Amino acid sequence: LIYALFIFLLKLPVLTVMIYGAIASVMQLWHHSNTKLPANVDSFLRRLIITPSLHKLHHSAFKEETNSNYGTIFSFWDRFFGTLCEYEQKNKVFNYGLEYFREEKQLDFLLTLKQPLSYKPEK
């Protein structure tokens, strides 16, 4: 509903919004598919678009990587806003998730739904 209101208030062409939505959905499915591209292809593509290996860093256990790579389609947005994070994974074991949600009891389905509303970071 909020999305529709936003489109209406900005008088965005509905067809344009639908095309963007379709492209963004396909890209997000690709980002989360664990598809591994050949290194030279990935290196070339990530100059323009977000590839699965580039987006994967956004799901890292390390804060500086988690707070990066927000782009949906194009990587130049992250370059522009200084949020692009690239690294070679050759010498590093990749850990998904946040470092402070590792205990089994914190992975309960209902608690996971409440986390964004109830988590208070330690100071």
In a domain, 53, yes or no: yes
Domain around 45: 2-118
Separation between Cα atoms, residue 25 and residue 72, nearest integer Å: 9
Token pair for residue 69?
């790579």
Number of structural domains in the chain:
1
In a domain, 9, yes or no: yes
Token pair for residue 75?
């990587």
Sign of the four-CA dihedral 99, 103, 107, 110:
negative
In a domain, 123, yes or no: no
pLDDT in tens, 1-46: 888 898 999 999 999 999 999 999 999 999 999 899 999 999 999 9
pLDDT in tens, 87-115: 755 556 777 877 777 777 777 888 888 88
The one-letter amino acid at 38: P
Q: Which residues of 61-83 are buried (b: 16+ CB within 10 A; e: fewer)?
A: eeeebbebbebebebeebeeeee
